[in-house]
Amino acid sequence: MTFDPDQRRSGCPVSCSLDLLGDKWSLLIVRDMVFVHKRYFKEFLTSDEGIATNILTDRLGKLEAAGIISKRPDPDNGRQVIYTLTDKGVALVPLLVELVCWGALYDNAPDADADIVRSISKDKQRFVNKLTNAIQR
Torsions phi, psi for 12 (to 5 deg): -60, 130
* Closest to 44 in 3D by CA, of 63, 61, 25, 62: 25
Instruction: Tell me if 53 contacts DNA by CB under 7 A.
Output: yes
* Closest to 96 in 3D by CA, of 58, 127, 55, 59: 127
Only one of the segments 5-13, 37-45, 56-64, 75-83 lies at the binding site for its own copies (rule: CB under 8 A); that segment is: 5-13
CB 85 within 8 A of CB 137: yes
Binding pattern to DNA, positions 22-51, x when CB under 7 A?
-xxx--------------xxx-------xx
Q: Of 6, 48, 76, 115, which lies in the binding site for its own copies, with binding defined by CB under 8 A?
A: 48
Cβ proximity to DNA: between 63 and 97 the closer is: 63
94 makes contact, choosing from DNA, its own copies, none, with CB < 5 to 8 Å by partner type, with its own copies
Helix (H) or strand (E) holding 2: none
